[in-house]
Structure 1
Amino acid sequence: MKSFKRISIILLAIVLSLSAVGCGQKNGENADADTPNKDGQVKEEVYDVVVIGGGGAGLSAAIEVKGAGASVVVLEKMAFIGGNTLISGGELNAPETWIQEKLGIEDSIEQYKEDTLKGGDNQADEKLVTVLANNARSAIEWLRDEVNVSFKEDYLMQFGGHSVPRAAYPEGGSGDELISKLGTKVEEMDIPVRKQTKAEEILTDESGKVNGVRAVDKDGNEIIFKANKGVIVATGGFGSSLEMRKKYNPEYDERYMSTDQPGSTGDGIVMAEELGAALIGMENIQTYPTCSPVTGVLSYVADTRFDGAVLVNKEGNRFVEELDRRDVISKAILSQTDGMGYLIWDTTVKNKSHMDNYMKEFDQLVKQGTLIKADTIEEAAKFFDINVDQLKETIAKYNEYATNGKDEDFNRRGEIIGLTEAPYYIQKVVPSVHHTMGGLKIDTEARVINNEGNPIPGLFAAGEVTGGIHGTNRLGGNAITDIVVFGRIAAESVLK
């Protein structure tokens, strides 16, 4: 299940759950908490920890809190759990894994750290990146062993900016695998999830320690969720908030669509900022280079880029290394004629890229007129009015590079595969806003830091709501690693 199908499921979930709050989880001493306010009074529920956000970071944190013997509730404003993790590919980077060992890939924690720092122009907080790198392998092993996530045992992705393949690939090539298994674990542990319940304010006691959250459910009832030990903010980024994007970086205005789910509106950043939380890197907004020019949705069919597809322009020329950083490729595409790029691949690449997982999206792209399958390169090129002669010359030269094993034009990383086996495919792509690297400033214990440089007592954060981990640019596959690593750390820290 991929891009188009997942978006359809999300929209369907919103419609079907207009009358549903939560998902029927047990709640022990607060078992009557789902009853409406009959007398207009504000209800209260009491837990050790309140987690705001039911995406990958929030669910990981909640599972760890409950596993440590504490009580926890998850507040999710949308009608479904999952956040952007649900509509992601679900791949996550980790060095020195059992999969790399099976495939004979040499890697190291230090190399992963260096790639991540370099990928963000060395503007990330090195201490946070060190924590990410040191805990990446244990994060994927936790997903495998404790959450029962299944990964392909004979395949790793190499996203742009990484020196070696290190992204574990979930079965089905989808964030659905992660969220469905995290959701199952949450249910098994009787962790209450309050869907369609929007956090409005993070509360503090007289001393300034965070001790709860004021939220409103779908019926307009106000609920106070008391937190004896603290609150974990895991609300995601602000890629779907045009207002916030324009506030922090006017470049990302109405011209850009977004790959993000509609709940990514920066709520947690705004609430924490009201408590004096420091922000970092808010101007750093990332686009994903290969998205649908019709919907802006991230295309997983276009993941052929990682498995050998070649990126060309209207004139039939290559113009960037296909495995360069996302921001580099996005800027390169926008500088081409019509601000568009065209991915071309053959049957060999199609088979290598697990295309069978993405056929629903594939068929939708064909219907939209943004993808063509043809018996010849000429036929495919003419469909998009690409310069046929120049494209044939470009591909012929690239095929020579594949034979010789070196890309003399752009020094492409990874395996260079010649495009020689019909049928051929060309897909029209455009960048969309994808990830916001900026957010709440945290330390290595996932404590939210205030403007004076001190931790805000009782307040923790994890995932895309935070800043400082990715610098100016996030490398592909690092978001899922980030949310699991720091989601678990936040859970450990809040219980200290």
Structure 2
Amino acid sequence: IKDHKISEIQTPGQRETKFLGDTAIREIGKDIIDYQTLNVDNIAGATVTSTALKTAVGEAIEKAGGNIANFQKPVPQKIKKIDGVQKQEVDLVVVGAGGAGLSAAVTAKDLGAKNVLIVEKMPVVGGNTLRCASAFNAADPERQKALPMTDTLKDAVVKAINEKPANEEHKKLMADVKAKYEAYLKSGSKTLFDCPEWHALQTYNGGDKVGHIPLIRTYANNVLDTLHWMQSKGSPVMDRVSQGAGALWQRTHQLDAPAGLGLVDPLYQDAVKQGVNFKLGTRVTDLVLDKSGKVIGITAEDKVGNKYQILSKNGVILATGGYSQNKEMRQKSAPHLTPDMVSTNQPGATGDGITIATRHGADTTGMNYVQVYPLATPGTGTLQGRARKMSGLDDVIDVNKNGERFVKEDARRDEFVAAIKKQPGAVCYDINDSSIVKPLNSFNEDVETLVQIGRIYKADTLADLAKQLGMPADKLEATVAEFNKMVEAKNDLKFGRKLFDRQIVKAPFYATPRAPSIHHTMGGLEITPKAQVVDKNGKIIPGLYAAGEVTGGIHGSNRLGGNATADV
């Protein structure tokens, strides 16, 4: 503070996520200095960080002997109000700046499109992809060759290829997997079996056989090429492949970056480099159609009510995400989910693309399928706050308040959630040792800080850890000892877990409280394998495309963990 004015704001050592909390700190800090007031707007989607920064600045003013009341004047409106409708023409409009929208815009540029515009209602880019754990599923022979094929895993394949088919498409997919598996056995390989067809079959079966196989095949056949494409853009893909929560197979790749930053940042940087234009803080209100019914653009509105009409020569791509934060749409689709349930999702996930498209006859599929994630932070529903670097469950067990395992940790997500809800307090604890803990977790949070504030429990012995958690020490010790024997035998006689890597033996030991949170909406717009939106008669709506969580049909009734990041 200089001459009774704030002259500079420093936040040394902050590790807020780029594009999210980091944007809030930068933008709010600039506004405070420019307008000499704490009465500046929060950044939507980063409310906690926005409030924290303003609180910290207020405390600094008081420590400097200042009066906070002198820093409360209103901020003038930044965006100028303009009468009428502002009109614009571009080659391509993409609605939504998350993983799907950024991928679409960058691909359009790669293919030679000149004037590409992304319209995003939030003030930041990244969508849900920025908040994810960057688990990316793909059959990847090169990276999976380090993994063994156990008898338990063989049994899973044999069971899947010999069941009664649900329909002809399922029968054909099973036959394709069987042919690949027989060739694998004939080769004498001892490494993990996987292929796009097996990924597709697990996706279909894991979604209770209600997904659309042509979409699932298109997805599974392209995810490895997509992963390589992401690497070519700069995504730091790690070599180790594991099995994420609810993934069903060891094909989950992880990125060496906090949260989903390793996915979003390379795409955003590439988009900027190639000249993609962004219109942030602008909500799309409707589609523009010509007399023949072809989608030729959008209408939109910013936060002060300025209206826009943007025409697009090559149609419109909807990449607006799901609807988990739209309680009315959510309850209509899945009445069993109570309105008070929290979500892992960003606040902009309100189903706008579905609302707009269905207004013009677009069909939907699977709207009653809403997924709950089993292992979120109790109370807030966020994915953060854990004591491990990797998102896989290879080296982790989950116990209830009695210190006992109650489910196979590699179960489907809906099975896992149902099991947790039956436990005391409807919570569980991730238990792991220090071999998979780094100073910063996969969300760039300082693990020791999380321990200090009571989000994570840490102890040099399992007995002490149990004492901190209020559970019987002998029960927790026995549970861990039993798990360690299972790792040796590669067999779980109690629950049938297939996934084993390292034992839990290296002190200190950690426990992270976890509880279910609404996570993903599997339903959405009906699309073809070319991502064309179709109407209620099954006819393509010309000029309208959709990608990511705004669509339905790929994940069926239950999305496999790690499939959505690859999907977008």
Question: How does the TM-score come out when normalised to structure 1?
Answer: 0.87
Residue 46 (structure 1) aligns with: 89
Residue 221 (structure 2) aligns with: 134
Please state how far the C-alpha of 1:380 moved relative to its aligned partner.
Answer: 1.1
**1:333-372 map, 5 Å:** 333-350=420-437, 357-358=442-443, 360=445, 362-363=447-448, 365-372=450-457
Go from structure 1 to structure 2 and tell me whether the alpha carbon gap of 1:19 and 1:425 turns closer, same or farther (over 3 Å shift).
closer
Go from structure 1 to structure 2 and tell me whether the alpha carbon gap of 1:163 and 1:291 turns closer, same or farther (over 3 Å shift).
closer
1:73 paired with 2:117, answer yes
**1:65-214 map, 5 Å:** 65-70=108-113, 71-101=115-145, 105-145=192-232, 147-152=233-238, 154-162=239-247, 164-172=249-257, 174-214=259-299
Go from structure 1 to structure 2 and tell me whether the alpha carbon gap of 1:425 and 1:359 turns closer, same or farther (over 3 Å shift).
farther
User: One-letter code of the match for 1:66?
Assistant: K
1:423 paired with 2:436, answer no
User: One-letter code of the match for 2:394?
Assistant: D
Are the counterparts in 2 of residues 320 and 332 from structure 1 also a CA contact under 8 Å?
yes
1:61 paired with 2:115, answer no
Go from structure 1 to structure 2 and tell me whether the alpha carbon gap of 1:4 and 1:332 turns closer, same or farther (over 3 Å shift).
farther
**1:335-484 map, 5 Å:** 335-350=422-437, 357-358=442-443, 360=445, 362-363=447-448, 365-483=450-568
Go from structure 1 to structure 2 and tell me whether the alpha carbon gap of 1:367 and 1:202 turns closer, same or farther (over 3 Å shift).
farther
Go from structure 1 to structure 2 and tell me whether the alpha carbon gap of 1:127 and 1:76 turns closer, same or farther (over 3 Å shift).
same
Q: For residues 374 and 42 of structure 2, what CA distance do their matches in structure 1 show?
A: 38
1:229 paired with 2:314, answer yes
Q: 1 or 2, which has the higher strand percentage?
A: 1
Q: For residues 325 and 2 of structure 1, what CA distance do their matches in structure 2 show?
A: 36
Bigger RCO (CA 8 Å, 6+ sep): 1
Are the counterparts in 1 of residues 211 and 553 from structure 2 also a CA contact under 8 Å?
yes
Please state how far the C-alpha of 1:304 moved relative to its aligned partner.
Answer: 6.2
Residues 370-399 of structure 1: CA deviation (Å, up to 9, x unaligned): 321011112111222123222222222222
Residues 311-341 of structure 1: CA deviation (Å, up to 9, x unaligned): 1111221110111111111111111111111
**1:231-246 map, 5 Å:** 231-246=316-331
What number of residue pairs does the alignment pair up? 465
Are the counterparts in 1 of residues 324 and 519 from structure 2 also a CA contact under 8 Å?
yes
* Percent sequence identity over aligned pairs: 36
Q: Secondary structure of 1:177's partner?
A: helix
Are the counterparts in 2 of residues 437 and 464 from structure 1 also a CA contact under 8 Å?
yes
Q: For residues 495 and 42 of structure 2, what CA distance do their matches in structure 1 show?
A: 54
Please state how far the C-alpha of 1:92 moved relative to its aligned partner.
Answer: 1.2
Q: For residues 79 and 478 of structure 2, what CA distance do their matches in structure 1 show?
A: 69
Residue 369 (structure 2) aligns with: 284
Are the counterparts in 2 of residues 56 and 82 from structure 1 also a CA contact under 8 Å?
yes
Residue 395 (structure 2) aligns with: 308
Q: For residues 248 and 19 of structure 1, what CA distance do their matches in structure 2 show?
A: 31
Please state how far the C-alpha of 1:117 moved relative to its aligned partner.
Answer: 1.1
Please state how far the C-alpha of 1:196 moved relative to its aligned partner.
Answer: 0.5
Are the counterparts in 2 of residues 448 and 461 from structure 1 also a CA contact under 8 Å?
yes
Q: Secondary structure of 1:448's partner?
A: strand
Go from structure 1 to structure 2 and tell me whether the alpha carbon gap of 1:105 and 1:294 turns closer, same or farther (over 3 Å shift).
same
Q: For residues 313 and 454 of structure 1, what CA distance do their matches in structure 2 show?
A: 50
Q: Secondary structure of 2:91's partner?
A: strand
Residue 21 (structure 2) aligns with: 8
Residues 265-291 of structure 1: CA deviation (Å, up to 9, x unaligned): 111111011011111111111111111
Q: Secondary structure of 1:297's partner?
A: coil
Please state how far the C-alpha of 1:73 moved relative to its aligned partner.
Answer: 0.7
Please state how far the C-alpha of 1:98 moved relative to its aligned partner.
Answer: 3.7
Are the counterparts in 1 of residues 248 and 410 from structure 2 also a CA contact under 8 Å?
no
Are the counterparts in 2 of residues 203 and 214 from structure 1 also a CA contact under 8 Å?
yes
User: One-letter code of the match for 1:80?
Assistant: V
User: One-letter code of the match for 1:277?
Assistant: A
Are the counterparts in 2 of residues 115 and 161 from structure 1 also a CA contact under 8 Å?
no
Are the counterparts in 2 of residues 196 and 218 from structure 1 also a CA contact under 8 Å?
yes
Q: Decide which moves more: 171-180 or 266-275.
A: 171-180
User: One-letter code of the match for 2:129?
Assistant: T
Go from structure 1 to structure 2 and tell me whether the alpha carbon gap of 1:284 and 1:359 turns closer, same or farther (over 3 Å shift).
same
Are the counterparts in 2 of residues 13 and 79 from structure 1 also a CA contact under 8 Å?
no
Q: For residues 232 and 413 of structure 1, what CA distance do their matches in structure 2 show?
A: 40
User: One-letter code of the match for 2:87?
Assistant: E
Q: For residues 27 and 356 of structure 2, what CA distance do their matches in structure 1 show?
A: 24
User: One-letter code of the match for 1:140?
Assistant: L
Residues 29-55 of structure 1: CA deviation (Å, up to 9, x unaligned): xxxxx99564x1211110122110011
User: One-letter code of the match for 2:144?
Assistant: Q
Q: Which runs of 5+ in 2 are unaligned?
A: 1-12, 32-40, 44-77, 148-190
User: One-letter code of the match for 1:68?
Assistant: L
Q: Decide which moves more: 222-231 or 103-112.
A: 103-112
Residues 433-487 of structure 1: CA deviation (Å, up to 9, x unaligned): 111101111111111111111111111100000001000111111111111xxxx
Q: Decide which moves more: 224-233 or 90-99.
A: 90-99
Please state how far the C-alpha of 1:163 moved relative to its aligned partner.
Answer: 5.2
Residues 15-71 of structure 1: CA deviation (Å, up to 9, x unaligned): 579699xxxxxxxxxxxxx99564x12111101221100111011111122222223
Residues 168-204 of structure 1: CA deviation (Å, up to 9, x unaligned): 2212253101111101011111110101111011111
Please state how far the C-alpha of 1:72 moved relative to its aligned partner.
Answer: 1.7
RMSD (Å), alpha carbons: 2.6
Go from structure 1 to structure 2 and tell me whether the alpha carbon gap of 1:256 and 1:37 turns closer, same or farther (over 3 Å shift).
closer
**1:18-33 map, 5 Å:** none
Please state how far the C-alpha of 1:14 moved relative to its aligned partner.
Answer: 7.6
Q: For residues 341 and 424 of structure 1, what CA distance do their matches in structure 2 show?
A: 16
Go from structure 1 to structure 2 and tell me whether the alpha carbon gap of 1:300 and 1:332 turns closer, same or farther (over 3 Å shift).
same
Q: Decide which moves more: 329-338 or 375-384.
A: 375-384
Please state how far the C-alpha of 1:243 moved relative to its aligned partner.
Answer: 2.0
Are the counterparts in 1 of residues 397 and 431 from structure 2 also a CA contact under 8 Å?
yes
Residues 150-178 of structure 1: CA deviation (Å, up to 9, x unaligned): 211x3112124545422222122531011
Q: Secondary structure of 2:330's partner?
A: helix
Q: Which runs of 5+ in 1 are unaligned?
A: 21-33, 484-496
Q: For residues 317 and 4 of structure 1, what CA distance do their matches in structure 2 show?
A: 35
Q: Decide which moves more: 108-117 or 412-421.
A: 412-421
Q: Secondary structure of 2:486's partner?
A: helix
Are the counterparts in 1 of residues 248 and 411 from structure 2 also a CA contact under 8 Å?
no
User: One-letter code of the match for 1:417?
Assistant: R
